């Protein structure tokens, strides 16, 4: 091709037809299709320089123009008009052929676009649209839930209540806990949980509900606690007219030490309620003795001896909590299975929150904490097996043992984000 004379005036129409093997051509589109094959070969030829390619392409364009002169102008117009009206054509119909307008590629591709081929809301790739500029498959909708506005307020707990949404969310594909604002107001020692008492012989020792420092005594840094757990226990033991029993925490081991300085043995019961009765309903891991590090229900301490706990003293609130949302659809994939030795927890767990990390990050209890949803790699999304409608929700906050959490009359809030199928 690069060896021939590129002066179009040196060739007749018949010579060009013979050179390019063009016979029985009836319209301009056929000529362009045939010559474009030669153009593609020129573009792909790496032995040609850019200047040589440009000269040859100009020559081929002149070939198209000269061969078009041999066509009947009526056939050019009729065939071209038919092509312009084709769905697959990228030229807009207009009154003149001198300056055709190219259609928007999105509109062309969008004619055949399907809803299942559209854009997912979290994807950055945008497929074409037709009626709308972009063919959207899903959109996001977020609802704010604040327990201050639950109804009825005084007859329900902020950690166990129902919500009827003002409008129904239709064709929901997934639900995600996208934000959470929680008061750090859970008591480690709570009368409602039955972990605020123990018995020395026949004397019942009952502690106040609240949070305490896990130290023998407070330091200047313990600004979030009014009292250490050891000081509080010893004060209550002394007020029960027992002077020969004292509690302490070993600074090296972190274990609890109970000393008997009296002249007779003493028996400590951690498996009784605050009335002194055997507590058969509350497992030992939920009692005060377990938090102090003692793994048995009762101990006998001989006079002049001490009792050291098997475990480390950790009088704290829950290590983690579960946010449970029952959507009444029974059509979702529950990501969390909280397994016990012979049972599982609620099937409606949406998220697991590291409560102890919130307390540490916030500097202590009795403040509001915002959970950093994005920093946690654990998924907090419930995906449905098909589009569902959601109108009513039942919220619960459970501790690691499956008990409804007591926030001590404090409210909390969250945001739920729905991926919704868009028609």
pLDDT at 41: 85
Q: State the pTM of this model.
A: 0.67
What average pLDDT does the chain have? 82
Interval 310-356: pLDDT, tens? 999 999 999 999 999 999 998 888 777 777 765 667 789 999 999 99
Q: What is the mean pLDDT of residues 57-65?
A: 87
> Is the per-residue pLDDT at 372 higher than 70?
no
Q: Is there a single domain that holds both residue 195 and residue 305?
A: yes
Q: Which range of residues forms the domain containing residue 374?
A: 140-185+318-421
> Is the per-residue pLDDT at 190 higher than 90?
yes
> Is the per-residue pLDDT at 399 higher than 80?
yes
Residue 149, token pair as written in the block: 């506005």
pLDDT band at 143 (very low <50, low <70, confident <90, very high): very high
* Higher pLDDT pick, 2 / 355: 355
| Residue 42 CA to its chain's centroid (Å) | 53
332 touches 347 (CB < 8 A): no
* Higher pLDDT pick, 284 / 69: 284
Q: Is there a single domain that holds both residue 305 and residue 199?
A: yes
pLDDT band at 378 (very low <50, low <70, confident <90, very high): low
Q: Is there a single domain that holds both residue 347 and residue 234?
A: no
Instruction: Write down which residue in 287, 312, 337 finishes a domain.
Output: 312
**Residue 388 neighbours by CB under 8 Å, 6+ apart:** 171, 172, 327, 329, 331, 332
Q: Is there a single domain that holds both residue 55 and residue 93?
A: yes
In a domain, 127, yes or no: no
- Helix, strand, or coil (residue 423): coil
Instruction: Write down which residue in 312, 338, 359 finishes a domain.
Output: 312
In a domain, 113, yes or no: no
Highest mean pLDDT among 72-81, 339-348, 410-419: 410-419
Instruction: Write down which residue in 293, 312, 331 finishes a domain.
Output: 312
* Higher pLDDT pick, 221 / 9: 9
pLDDT band at 69 (very low <50, low <70, confident <90, very high): confident
DSSP string, 219-288: -TT-TT-SSBHHHHHHHHHHHTT--SEEEEE-TTT-EEEEEE-SSS-EEEESSB-TTS-B--SS-GGGSH
In a domain, 125, yes or no: no
The candidate with the shortest Cα–Cα distance to 106, out of 120, 119, 122, is: 119
> Domains in the chain: how many in total?
3
Q: Is there a single domain that holds both residue 248 and residue 175?
A: no
268 touches 301 (CB < 8 A): yes
Q: Give me the CATH number covering residue 375.
A: 2.60.120
Q: Is there a single domain that holds both residue 177 and residue 323?
A: yes
């Amino acid at each position: 091709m690069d060896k021939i004379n590129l002066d179009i005036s040196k060739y007749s129409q018949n010579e060009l037809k013979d050179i390019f093997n063009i016979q029985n051509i009836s319209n301009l589109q056929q000529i362009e299709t045939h010559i474009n094959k030669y153009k593609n070969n020129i573009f792909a030829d790496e032995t040609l320089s850019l200047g040589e390619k440009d000269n040859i392409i100009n020559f081929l364009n002149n070939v198209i123009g000269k061969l078009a002169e041999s066509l009947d102008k009526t056939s050019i117009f009729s065939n071209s008009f038919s092509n312009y009206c084709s769905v697959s054509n990228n030229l807009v119909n207009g009154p003149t052929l001198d300056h055709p307008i190219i259609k928007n590629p999105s509109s062309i591709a969008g004619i055949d676009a399907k809803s299942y081929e559209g854009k997912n809301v979290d994807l950055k790739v945008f497929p074409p649209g037709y009626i709308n500029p972009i063919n959207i498959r899903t959109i996001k909708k977020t609802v704010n839930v604040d327990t201050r506005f639950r109804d009825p307020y005084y007859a329900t707990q902020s950690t166990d209540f129902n919500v009827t949404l003002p409008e129904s969310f239709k064709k929901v594909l997934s639900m995600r806990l996208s934000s959470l604002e929680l008061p750090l107001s859970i008591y480690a020692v709570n009368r409602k949980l039955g972990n605020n008492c123990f018995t020395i012989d026949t004397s019942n020792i009952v502690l106040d509900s609240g949070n305490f420092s896990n130290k023998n005594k407070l330091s200047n840094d313990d600004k979030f606690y009014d009292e250490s757990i050891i000081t509080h226990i010893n004060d209550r033991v002394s007020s029960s007219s027992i002077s020969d029993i004292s509690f302490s925490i070993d600074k090296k081991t972190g274990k609890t030490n109970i000393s008997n300085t009296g002249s007779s043995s003493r028996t400590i019961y951690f498996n009784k309620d605050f009335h002194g009765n055997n507590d058969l309903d509350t497992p030992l891991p939920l009692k005060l003795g377990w938090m102090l590090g003692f793994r048995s229900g009762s101990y006998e301490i001989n006079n002049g001896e001490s009792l050291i706990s098997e475990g480390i003293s950790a009088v704290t609130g829950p290590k983690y909590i579960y946010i449970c949302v029952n959507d009444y659809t029974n059509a979702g994939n529950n990501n969390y299975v909280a397994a016990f030795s012979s049972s599982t927890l609620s099937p409606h767990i949406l998220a697991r929150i590291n409560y102890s990390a919130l307390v540490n990050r916030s500097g202590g209890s009795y403040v509001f904490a915002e959970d950093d949803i994005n920093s946690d790699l654990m998924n907090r999304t419930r995906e449905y097996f098909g589009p569902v409608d959601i109108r009513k929700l039942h919220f619960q906050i459970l501790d690691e043992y499956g008990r409804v959490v007591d926030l001590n009359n404090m409210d909390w809030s969250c945001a739920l984000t729905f991926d919704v199928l868009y028609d």
